[in-house]
Structure 1
Amino acid sequence: MQSFNHLMTTRPHEVRQVLISDLHLSPQEPALVQAFLALLDDCLALPALKRLYILGDWFEVWLGDDMYLSLLKEKRSEAERQAHWLTPLIVKLKKLRVAGCEILVMHGNRDFLLGQPFCNLFGGELIYEPYNLMVGQQNYRLEHGDALCTDDKKYQFFRRIMRNPLTQWYLLNKPLEKRLAIANKMRQKSQQNNASKAAHIMDVNDVAVRQAITASDALLHGHTHRPDIHQATTDKKRYVLGDWRLLDKNKRQPKVSAVIGAVTENDDDAEFSLVEFTCNMI
């Protein structure tokens, strides 16, 4: 695993694609938001970057696109829109898209109500799992990762309900305040349930991994917050992206750290690698 302060490399012209997951952005964690903006600055400085993948749990919670789109539709002041914590992200993402970098966003277990209308604000595109990524001659299967945790029967039942279009239609037609109350109740219940679960139950299931990787050369996901490279089968690997964490929060200059993915290409070959991304907060 390589380690970079930001994403500046000794070979910036070779970085073609960047993959991130589990940022869990929210207004309550401004350091994570600033670290994401720093990553976007790095992406803008990579001259050959073609794609940025966000593989789920971009946000800590997403109650519907109208959380932000209502600022555009209603007669709100420009100052109110500019003050919203999402506005700088949209501005920077739009700049990245204009520079020629595609922005591909996948649902996670916390932001499954994210819609294409929000992505349209910066020229992004929703993608759905499993998603195939070619790295040279290798076919990588991309997904968020929660569907692989099949030992957690209660969560998988909950997931099937929440991913049902009728359930999502029902939720999105509730007032925003009601959705917030529902989300808070579900989060509290999830925290209580997870506290009593064995650690292995919330990790991926080996059989599910082998089934998922059957038609691919490698598997890449997030969700578990356990970044690593695993030997999924005798000839295939499973790559796990890491969540974004605020370290040394009590020090004068705390640091945000994450394990992300990078695809580099040169005249001879293409290669995927995990990268430790760090950003010092000022």
Structure 2
Amino acid sequence: MVIDDFAVIDYSYLITTRPYDIRRVVISDLHLSADEPALVQAFLAFLDDLIVLPNLNELYILGDWFDAWVGDDFYLSLSTIETKRHWLTPIINKLTQLSTQGCQIKVMHGNRDFLIGQSFCDLFQGQLITEPSLVTIGDKVFRFEHGDALCTDDKSYQRFRAIIRNPLTKWMLLKRPLHKRIALAQKIRQKSALDKTNKSMSIMDVNAGAVLKALKPVDALLHGHTHRPAVHEIVTDQDANKTKLRYVLGDWRVINPDSSYQQAEAVIALSCLPEQSTNTANSTSLEQKESLQLVKFII
């Protein structure tokens, strides 16, 4: 069952009225590239918002941060002059500022940027995390993942994923010249666009059985990839009438591409302490009441 009012809380309102309560931010599917300057600017503005949150502990990026990533040497091999001019440099600078303030930045692979390495994350003191990752929020254990592994009805994609995510395959890819990897990434993007046209929407969505299996050892599931933001209530035990929640993040997209003043929107996740929590003395009790919610983001 889909919970319809999942995004009733406005992001701007929340960070303006409750900046001290926000502890974690979770995003995915930004698909940043030099070809999408409006999305890059939106992410920079978003980071400016996060930098001023006084109690932010963690920023999670759950895959497809970039539209394509052909290896860390794509950026690390640039000359000093090229680095200064590159579109990634302002992002790295702001992430570094955020991490220096005490926020842990945790990056997970997606289907488009699975070649991100720890060397790139080291530039902003970030951490490359495994998929899935278990995260405790309040009194609940969440399973965080990108989401493509849950789309098991898409047999051809799962075969491709098993090959391309194999450590040996990744090693061989990174041994290829950079220009060949860039060409390969372009072919993969073209195939992905063609698949979206030719494959049914149901095949490219998550499989119910895969979701139940993922939920079994945890209290809730949070993922991206499908670009279908929602909160789903999943029945995990028919006899006991037990349910668990599946949270789906949205992709970042430009909502007015023909305008001279472009804006981006997405559905992201925030975890917050209860409202007016700063007046309560028992911090341990408050942490147990920390909860996660999806919010609409427009910037």
TM score, norm. by length of structure 2: 0.89
SS at match of 2:297: strand
| Mapped pair 1:198 → 2:205 | no
Amino acid at match of 1:151: D
CA distance in structure 1 between the aligned counterparts of 2:95 and 2:290, rounded to whole angstroms? 25
Identity of aligned residues (%): 55
In structure 1, the partner of 2:217 is 215
Q: Deviations over 1:143-165 (max 9, x none)?
A: 00000000000000000001101
Q: What SS class does the counterpart of residue 42 from structure 2 fall into?
A: helix
Write the letter of the residue equivalent to 1:261: A
2:291 counterpart of 1:271: yes
Give the CA deviation at 1:120.
0.3
- Cα offsets for 1:210-263 (capped at 9, x unmatched): 000001100000000000000122420000000001011112322100100001
Distance 2:187 2:250 in 1: 26
Could you tell me which residue of structure 2 aligns to residue 189 of structure 1?
A: 191
Give the secondary-structure state (helix, strand or coil) at the position aligned to 2:173. Answer: helix
| Residue correspondence of structure 1 range 201-280 to structure 2 within 5 A | 201-233=203-235, 234-265=242-273, 266=277, 267=280, 268=286, 269-279=289-299
What is the 5 A alignment of 1:1-282? Answer: 1=7, 2-5=9-12, 8-71=15-78, 76=79, 78-233=80-235, 234-265=242-273, 266=277, 267=280, 268=286, 269-279=289-299
Which runs of structure 1 show a deviation greater than 4 angstroms over 4 or more consecutive aligned residues? none
CA separation in 1, counterparts of 2:82 and 2:188? 30
Separation (CA, whole Å) in 2 of partners of 1:274 and 1:17: 12
Out of 131-140 and 247-256, give the one that drifted further. Answer: 247-256
- 1:155-181 deviations in whole A, cap 9, x for unaligned? 000000011011001110000111112
What is the CA-CA distance between 1:189 and the residue it aligns to?
A: 2.5
1:207, distance to aligned residue in structure 2 (A): 0.6
Output the CA distance in 1 between the equivalents of 2:187 and 2:51: 39
Cα-to-partner distance string for 1:57-100 (whole Å, 9 max, x where unaligned): 000000000000102xxxx3x33211001100111000000000
Q: Distance in 2 between matches of 1:196 and 1:59?
A: 24
CA distance in 2, matches of 1:6, 1:12: 10
Q: Using the TM superposition, name which of 223-232 and 244-253 deviates more.
A: 244-253
1 CA distance for matches of 2:12 and 2:137?
24
RMSD over aligned CA atoms reads: 1.2
User: Contact conserved, 1:132 with 1:139, CA < 8 A, in 2?
Assistant: yes
Aligned length: 274
Q: For structure 1, which segment, 253-262 or 145-154, has the greater mean C-alpha deviation from structure 2 after superposition?
A: 253-262
2:295 alignment partner AA: V
Q: Measure the CA separation in 1 of the matches of 2:14 and 2:99.
A: 18
The letter of the residue matching 2:294 is L
Cα shift at 1:7: 6.3
Deviations 1:110-169 (CA, angstroms, capped at 9, x unpaired): 000000000000000000111111111101110000000000000000000011011001
